[in-house]
Chain A
Amino acid sequence: MVIDDSRAMRMILKRIVAKLNFDAVEAGDGQEALDLLATMTEVPELALIDWNMPNMNGLEFVTKVRAEPRLREMTLVMVTTESEQSQIVRALAAGAHEYVIKPFTEGAMIEKLALLGLVPTGANS
């Protein structure tokens, strides 16, 4: 699942995960993502989440997902321009598994996902 209010960024992230054989669904903010998850019988394995979005931001989304037992197996990766150490700590404390700072290269993103065990190590090469 790709959650970002920028359609351009959603397209980039979808391109990357498609190369890793993920079927991605997308949402433009945290609330839209929660609404979409409520309709899904199968919970996505991975969510790539922007921080600054209208309606519901990424941090609020992470907090809500972590409070929902049905969604606890989702791997949550923040993908954001929020690069201050304090913000990274907040996101990880709320339940995000990893943190990717924009701008990122395709290779850097794949490496992060490999570290999480979501793609084979070396998928980048």
Chain B
Amino acid sequence: MSEPVVTEGDLAEMVEQVWVSYLDPEGVSPLVQNGEVKQPTEVHSTVSITGSWHGHLVYASSVQAATRAAAAFLAMEPDEVGQEDISDVLGELANIVGGNVKAMLPAGCFLSLPTVVLAPDTASYYPAAERISGLYGTWAGEPVSISMWQSVKQEASA
């Protein structure tokens, strides 16, 4: 099997930049990788990539981690964070990682606007895609993942 176009190492580098820039500027609470693909997540933020490559970038976390991310991003207390704040911040996080991922893909790709849903089981949203890469871990003890999904149809026609 050939190496994915975006590796776990690539995702880790991008995630580290996001944490340093917005979620953990003091560098005291990094995302700790645990490799647990099946850890439960309840908030899923997705950007789709189309054009010369077809797939999705999914940022997933627990509600608690999403709340913490929104609070950090918006300089609010966690108990002040509302659902709109979570949606906006997680959408932007997927957009940032997805945009940087797009730069690593073949030229001629386009990034969609983000979609954020509160529901379990990421895979159910993309039955025609398979996971090609992912970063799985915890942030302050709460599950967070960033994964890349490639359209199966595209692979079949390649």
Contact = CB atoms under 8 A, between A and B. Distances in A.
Same complex origin of A and B: yes
Interface of A: 5-9, 11-12, 15, 52, 54, 80-84, 86, 101-106
Interface size class of chain B, counting residues whose CB lies under 8 Å from the partner chain: 20 to 34
Interface in B87-106: 88-89, 91-92, 95-96, 98-100, 102-103
Given A81-B111, A83-B103, A84-B107, A12 B88 contact: no
A103 B113 contact: no
B22 interface: yes
Secondary structure of the B contact surface, majority rule? helix
Interface of B: 17-18, 20-22, 25, 70, 73-75, 85, 88-89, 91-92, 95-96, 98-100, 102-103, 107, 111, 113
A8 B74 contact: yes
A91 to B, nearest CB: 14
Secondary structure of the A contact surface, majority rule? loop
Contact of B99 (A8, A80, A106): A80
B74 A11 contact: yes
Contacts of A83: 99-100, 103
Contacts of A106: 25
A110 B70 CA distance: 23
